[in-house]
């Protein structure tokens, strides 16, 4: 008989890494006959104060339907921390084993927990059988808060379908110009303005270089005005499907100089397509990204450092090609959704057993 696994996911209207992650993983988990995954949408109520009450009611109702294991998917931020703490309490009261997977991690809120909410954390999340995080630094923090259970450092995942018809050996490019891709939610904290500044500087020496900024977010309209005279910069808005595949396949570099991160899926996607990556030493990137072998780390909020790394990859195409090949092989072996789902299933199966 299949064991029911209840998984919380954000409201489907919300774009973001957590939904993208489960969209990639859930089809792969269907390959395991021993479990049946049931998702429950949480949040997305805006300013409706009754929303969290509705979530708790839905959650209580769902776990009563013969749930064997639950997987909670919060971020370490104010709203989801306290909401999913209630879920944790409900699960432990009903003696249902559960896993907590912290996808996002707000460093300012981490300090708040350290100063005010450690005992609350221990009485709620402290009952989890396992906690999954995206960085060893987050694991260290959980231990400092007194968590005694198993902690797993995982990665996000690249959807298998993204590479279904892609061959690294047949990478294609448009025209003669070198192409740089920035694909992310358009927030100042993602380093988009530093990317633009660095790009404008290299255009003085390399006029055929192109930058594509893909994504949506609070800075989108401001960026469109800011870039109205930049002929070498294209801003596309949100991309998905074949348009997204084409952008990665045609790009020669991927750039994401974020100020902070959990583990950005877009970096793993770029690697899967064999694209050298320029990023910052934040979150889960610190635990696996090899500077010089997978691309380059740059200092946060530092356009000059970013410009220098752009120039390094432009002037050393053989090294850039070697980096791209390394990235493709690493991604295929470690972060495709099928590989990650195997590991997630193992963690779930441990609790069922």
pLDDT in tens, 135-149: 999 999 999 999 999
pLDDT digits (tens, 9 = 90+) for 24-52: 999 999 999 999 999 999 887 767 767 77
**Exposed/middle/buried for residue 230 (C-beta within 10 Å: 0-12, 13-18, 19+):** middle
Q: Are residues 181 and 114 in the same domain?
A: no
Q: Are residues 328 and 347 in the same domain?
A: no
Spatial separation of the C-alpha atoms in residues 169 and 183, rounded to whole Å: 23
pLDDT reported for residue 14:
67
pLDDT digits (tens, 9 = 90+) for 304-330: 999 999 999 999 989 999 999 999 999
User: 């990650």: which residue's tokens?
Assistant: 340
Residue 171 has pLDDT above 80, yes or no: no
Strands 277-280 and 295-298: parallel
Q: Are residues 27 and 68 in the same domain?
A: yes
Q: Are residues 135 and 171 in the same domain?
A: no
Q: Are residues 178 and 117 in the same domain?
A: no
Which of left, alpha, beta for 275 (phi over 0: left; psi -120 to 50: alpha)? beta
Q: Are residues 290 and 180 in the same domain?
A: yes
pLDDT digits (tens, 9 = 90+) for 4-30: 999 999 987 766 788 889 999 999 999
Q: What distances in angstroms separate CA 294 from CA 149, 271, 330, one per listed residue?
A: 33, 8, 9
pLDDT digits (tens, 9 = 90+) for 93-138: 999 999 999 998 999 999 999 999 999 999 999 999 999 999 999 9
pLDDT digits (tens, 9 = 90+) for 55-83: 999 999 999 989 999 999 999 999 899 99
Spatial separation of the C-alpha atoms in residues 234 and 236, rounded to whole Å: 6
Q: Are residues 8 and 40 in the same domain?
A: yes
Q: Are residues 192 and 114 in the same domain?
A: no
Q: Are residues 108 and 150 in the same domain?
A: yes
Q: Which pLDDT band holds residue 175 (cuts at 50, 70, 90)?
A: very low
Both ends of the chain: CA-CA distance in Å?
Answer: 13
The DSSP output letter for 162 is G
Higher pLDDT, residue 52 or 290: 290
Q: pTM here?
A: 0.88
State the residue range of the domain holding 348: 3-157+336-352
* Mean pLDDT value across the chain: 92
Assigned token pair, 121: 């954390």
pLDDT digits (tens, 9 = 90+) for 257-284: 999 888 899 999 999 999 999 999 998 8
Q: What's the number of domains the chain is made of?
A: 2
DSSP assignment of 39-51, as one string? Answer: EEEE---TT-TTH
Strand stretches in the chain, DSSP E: 3-10, 35-42, 67-72, 98-101, 130-133, 150-153, 179-183, 210-214, 233-237, 253-256, 277-280, 295-298
Spatial separation of the C-alpha atoms in residues 144 and 102, rounded to whole Å: 16
Residue 172 has pLDDT above 60, yes or no: no
Q: Which pLDDT band holds residue 173 (cuts at 50, 70, 90)?
A: low
Q: Are residues 168 and 233 in the same domain?
A: yes
State the DSSP H helix or E strand holding residue 14, giving kind and residue range, or none if neither.
none
Spatial separation of the C-alpha atoms in residues 293 and 124, rounded to whole Å: 41
pLDDT reported for residue 298:
97
- Contacts of residue 258, defined as CB under 8 A and 6 or more positions apart, other chains included, come to 184, 189, 190, 191, 264, 279, 280, 282, 300
DSSP, collapsed to helix, strand or coil, labels residue 267 as helix
Residue 240 has pLDDT above 70, yes or no: yes
Q: Are residues 174 and 241 in the same domain?
A: yes
Residue 88 has pLDDT above 70, yes or no: yes
pLDDT digits (tens, 9 = 90+) for 192-210: 999 999 999 999 999 999 9
Q: Are residues 202 and 322 in the same domain?
A: yes
| CATH number where 95 lies | 3.40.50.2000
């Amino acid at each position: 008989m299949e064991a029911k696994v209840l998984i919380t996911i954000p409201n489907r209207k919300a774009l973001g890494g957590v939904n993208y992650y489960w969209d990639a993983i859930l089809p792969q988990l269907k390959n395991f006959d021993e479990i049946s995954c049931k998702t429950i949408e949480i949040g997305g109520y805006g300013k409706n104060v009754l929303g969290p009450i509705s979530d708790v009611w839905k959650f209580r109702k769902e776990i009563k339907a013969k749930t064997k294991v639950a997987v909670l998917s919060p971020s370490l931020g104010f709203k989801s921390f306290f909401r999913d703490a209630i879920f944790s309490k409900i699960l432990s009261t009903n003696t249902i084993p559960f896993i907590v997977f912290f996808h996002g991690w707000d460093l300012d809120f981490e300090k708040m927990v350290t100063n005010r909410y450690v005992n609350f954390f221990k009485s709620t999340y402290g009952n989890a059988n396992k906690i999954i995080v995206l960085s060893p630094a987050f694991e260290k923090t959980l231990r400092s808060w007194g968590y005694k259970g198993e902690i797993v450092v995982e990665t996000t995942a690249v959807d298998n379908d993204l590479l279904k018809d892609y061959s690294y050996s047949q990478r294609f490019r448009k025209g003669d110009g070198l192409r740089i891709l920035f694909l992310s939610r358009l927030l100042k904290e993602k380093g988009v303005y530093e990317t633009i500044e660095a790009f404008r500087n290299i255009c003085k020496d390399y006029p055929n270089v192109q930058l594509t900024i893909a994504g949506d977010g609070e800075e989108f309209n401001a960026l469109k005005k800011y870039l109205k005279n930049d002929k070498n910069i294209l801003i596309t808005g949100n991309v998905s499907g074949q348009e997204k595949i084409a952008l990665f396949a045609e790009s020669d570099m991927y750039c994401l100089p974020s100020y902070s991160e959990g583990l950005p899926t877009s970096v793993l996607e770029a690697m899967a397509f064999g694209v050298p990556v320029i990023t910052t030493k934040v979150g889960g990137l610190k635990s696996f990204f090899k500077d010089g072998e997978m691309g380059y780390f740059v200092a946060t909020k530092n356009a000059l450092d970013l410009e220098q790394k752009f120039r390094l990859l432009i002037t050393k195409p053989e090294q850039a090609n070697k980096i791209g090949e390394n990235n493709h092989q690493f991604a295929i072996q470690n972060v495709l959704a099928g590989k990650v789902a195997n590991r997630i299933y193992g963690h779930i199966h441990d609790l069922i057993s």
